[in-house]
Structure 1
């Protein structure tokens, strides 16, 4: 007999204290995984100086975590169904905490890269369980609100990483320097390991779910073939093997589709279940999230390096420059539901257009090597406002109507899109910046301007994609008679 996940309990069937405790534990864990995707950005100059690393190694230190995180997320979501979300979350949290300690004790660039991959493995096991546990713990309007907070955590953590990273590196507690950005996870992780077994709900393992090993291997190989040449190719002069890898990666996408169809044809569980892919607007939303986070992640990486290496800012000052963006993003991401529901659909593409305009303005302001002045700070704030108006409602629209039984697969797909976008953004925009920056102040300023213009163009493309996602979602919802709370 197939054991299905029981429906999410009614909001009045568990105390408010219990549900809030669950949300605090899982979102703190989620915040740590997202934070680690960006907190290292501000520490990059210190790592480069201390460990004598090159551009490719720096990109692997930043992106290696996200690569492992991204390629293993779908498998982590499926593992949660097989072993229960509670056990998988706790196991992933333990691996992540140990790997964070190892990163803080790393002795050279190779060991740091390896331990960063270890962090990614732990995060991939932990993060997909968060969305599923939200689906199981909350219902109705409470679920939509929890998903909105979740979406704000996912992207807000990237911004918080810039600020917190600067504070930690500048404080240099106990002479820890850049190592503190990793060691900060250890006490938090230990506290969560104590609380999680007492707070997280006990769920039933789904013995009918299988882990698609062939699909996982194919997806992992495809992502590595596409990302590694982008990260290492520039510094090595894009040798022949890099182009062969990229070509093989494109073919790998086709191979993955064929593998998934074959798995489904045999009656087994593919990584991307057809029922999940058919959820209203899910695929279009995943595509938009990949584009948005690609721009966002790449821009954060380049901006942090430019401020410290080219403008000479301290880690703390560089981190604080992102504060206006963090404030506006948080304000928009947590309060967008107060805007009339009739405007929600239009708000997403319009928010991305605002972000693109802010990036274009920054290209003009910073293109001559100027400091981050009042006008640039306003542009940062507008960029955060635009992303806040788009990101949270976009993800919430896609998730609010996903059945609980499919929550794990949906969370894996959307979270993978977020992480793959971040990897691609760091690799592509980082490579462009390092290629153009050169050794002079003028060339660095030109590189920054080019990256901002490219980011603006990519954000406009994401705006068009989001408009398509909203249209398809609305059409499919109307055909199925599905209306999510507050997401008309």
Structure 2
């Protein structure tokens, strides 16, 4: 007769501990990848003046260097999520990480502005394959309170990446190790990426879910063309005095958006897998949340770009000094993202739009304070912190509440839709608000400061639009 041995208490206690350790290790790997992707969207901001002098780039080329990464990242995100469904999140994450790391090395070795722009697009493609897997793994492998905590850390990573990017970029440019200058802001990804490439195959689960979902190449092509037709004329138009082709392209972008919608309907009718799954689009509040996130990140991305140029070119700050100015905003954003659940649940619905109103007010106040060429003093840094509080109390709760209504079967699509809108918002913000600032900024300190004031007030008004969207999405 076979005897069943009793399980020792130590064994039963060790199993949950091992499970908790593995979950923490998985989260650490994927969020480090997320951190790298966010870092690379912001670390370049403080290196802009150094890139301009080192490569002799124009204002429009600088915008493409910053926005090119985010354009590729944004338009390929949903396809990246689909690749994860088809080949498993583990494989897609590792492949995207490898491409991102190689492209970072190429950016650091770029010999002119055109090469840097091309490599930035490739870098964005790598991020687009890697990052959707982060949200999908959180959606599928974490539930309830654990998912809410993971999403809070995810949001803190986003804000932390923005701040660390500004400060680390300043440190790297000022340190000029081995004469690398601005190149170091890209090369810093290489050792981190190499370590993750060693650890990820050992930590990430190899038996993730797989779905035989076709890639929507027609939808991807229509979306990419539509985005490029919108962004490229916004970036290049002001510097070229708005030639006829820019207006034609802007008009064609609207036609491209309609074409994209028609292509998606046709793909669905034929039994294919549209870029944006209808089941995900029907999730309560998803589309309003996506619109809110797009507007919020357009103002946030535009503000970071404009402020980085103003602090260094107008006020003469070093790259490190400019980066440190953003610390209060990012630190408070991270704290708010991690602790918003301490607010009683009955206040969550009203908290989101009110927090965005606070963000709009602080952005407007800062624009008014700095419009006469003043330097950001202690009171301005306090206002920066309040801005982080406003955005932090809106961004994470809005995303968490919306994703809680999404079925797990379409988690990848819902995550892709939201993150795509976040990244598209950054692209549109840099292109539109960056163009406004560069068009109005003259050769004098006062004219540039006034351009900042006008741009900041326009961004503050735009955040109020996001608050209106959020008030309906939170219902």
What TM bracket, shorter-length normalisation? Answer: over 0.9
Give 1:134 shift.
Answer: 1.2
Aligned-partner Cα distance in 1 for 2:134–2:28? 11
Other-structure match for 1:333: 337
Other-structure match for 1:158: 162
Cα gap change, 1:441/1:204 in structure 2, threshold over 3 Å: closer, same or farther? closer
Query: Which of 274, 283, 296 is matched with 1:292 structurally?
Result: 296
Aligned-partner Cα distance in 1 for 2:375–2:152? 35
Cα gap change, 1:442/1:92 in structure 2, threshold over 3 Å: closer, same or farther? same
| Equivalent pair of 2:42/2:165 in contact (CA under 8 Å) | yes
Is residue 45 from structure 1 mapped to residue 46 from structure 2 by the alignment? no
Other-structure match for 2:460: 456
Query: Which of 421, 426, 432 is matched with 1:422 structurally?
Result: 426
Aligned-partner Cα distance in 2 for 1:140–1:442? 52
Deviations 1:218-269 (A, max 9, x none): 1111111111111111111111111111111101111111111111111111
Aligned-partner Cα distance in 2 for 1:189–1:220? 27
Aligned-partner Cα distance in 2 for 1:105–1:291? 34
| Equivalent pair of 2:108/2:183 in contact (CA under 8 Å) | yes
Other-structure match for 1:406: 410
Give 1:118 shift.
Answer: 0.8
Other-structure match for 1:116: 120
Other-structure match for 2:275: 271
Query: Which of 97, 100, 106 is matched with 2:101 structurally?
Result: 97
| Equivalent pair of 2:46/2:166 in contact (CA under 8 Å) | yes
| Equivalent pair of 2:156/2:335 in contact (CA under 8 Å) | no
Give 1:205 shift.
Answer: 5.5
| Equivalent pair of 2:39/2:165 in contact (CA under 8 Å) | yes
Aligned-partner Cα distance in 2 for 1:23–1:31? 12
Cα gap change, 1:377/1:204 in structure 2, threshold over 3 Å: closer, same or farther? closer
Is residue 283 from structure 1 mapped to residue 287 from structure 2 by the alignment? yes
Other-structure match for 2:369: 365
Report the count of equivalent residues.
Answer: 461
Other-structure match for 2:7: none
Q: How does 1:431-442 map to 2 (within 5 A)?
A: 431-442=435-446
Other-structure match for 1:391: 395
Give 1:400 shift.
Answer: 2.4
Other-structure match for 1:305: 309
| Equivalent pair of 2:159/2:334 in contact (CA under 8 Å) | no
Other-structure match for 1:237: 241
Is residue 87 from structure 1 mapped to residue 91 from structure 2 by the alignment? yes
Deviations 1:82-140 (A, max 9, x none): 11110000000000000001111111111111110110010000010111111232122
Aligned-partner Cα distance in 2 for 1:272–1:148? 25
| Equivalent pair of 1:290/1:417 in contact (CA under 8 Å) | yes
Structure 1 unmatched runs, 5+: 1-10, 472-488
Aligned-partner Cα distance in 2 for 1:467–1:44? 37
Aligned-partner Cα distance in 1 for 2:230–2:250? 5
| Equivalent pair of 1:310/1:444 in contact (CA under 8 Å) | yes
Q: How does 1:248-259 map to 2 (within 5 A)?
A: 248-259=252-263
Is residue 144 from structure 1 mapped to residue 144 from structure 2 by the alignment? no
Query: Which of 316, 322, 331 is matched with 1:318 structurally?
Result: 322
TM-score (norm 1): 0.93
Aligned-partner Cα distance in 2 for 1:125–1:15? 27
Aligned-partner Cα distance in 1 for 2:351–2:187? 39
Aligned-partner Cα distance in 1 for 2:211–2:26? 25
Cα gap change, 1:252/1:14 in structure 2, threshold over 3 Å: closer, same or farther? farther
Other-structure match for 2:5: none
Other-structure match for 1:215: 219
Aligned-partner Cα distance in 2 for 1:38–1:150? 16
| Equivalent pair of 1:143/1:400 in contact (CA under 8 Å) | no
| Stretch deviating more after TM superposition (395-404 or 35-44) | 395-404
Is residue 346 from structure 1 mapped to residue 364 from structure 2 by the alignment? no
Give 1:204 shift.
Answer: 4.7
Give 1:294 shift.
Answer: 0.2
Query: Which of 74, 77, 81 is matched with 1:70 structurally?
Result: 74
Aligned-partner Cα distance in 2 for 1:449–1:176? 34
Is residue 132 from structure 1 mapped to residue 102 from structure 2 by the alignment? no
Deviations 1:39-88 (A, max 9, x none): 10000000001111110000000000001111111111111111111000
| Stretch deviating more after TM superposition (45-54 or 204-213) | 204-213
Give 1:207 shift.
Answer: 4.4
2:316 partner SS = coil
Computing the radius of gyration from Cα coordinates, the structure with the larger value is 2
Deviations 1:283-313 (A, max 9, x none): 1100000000000000000000000000000
Aligned-partner Cα distance in 2 for 1:97–1:51? 22
Give 1:442 shift.
Answer: 1.5
Give 1:151 shift.
Answer: 2.2
Aligned-partner Cα distance in 1 for 2:327–2:17? 40
TM-score (norm 2): 0.95
1:36 partner SS = helix
Aligned-partner Cα distance in 2 for 1:276–1:241? 37
| Stretch deviating more after TM superposition (43-52 or 135-144) | 135-144
Query: Which of 182, 187, 191 is matched with 1:187 structurally?
Result: 191
Aligned-partner Cα distance in 1 for 2:412–2:17? 23
| Stretch deviating more after TM superposition (144-153 or 14-23) | 144-153
| Equivalent pair of 1:70/1:419 in contact (CA under 8 Å) | yes
Other-structure match for 2:6: none
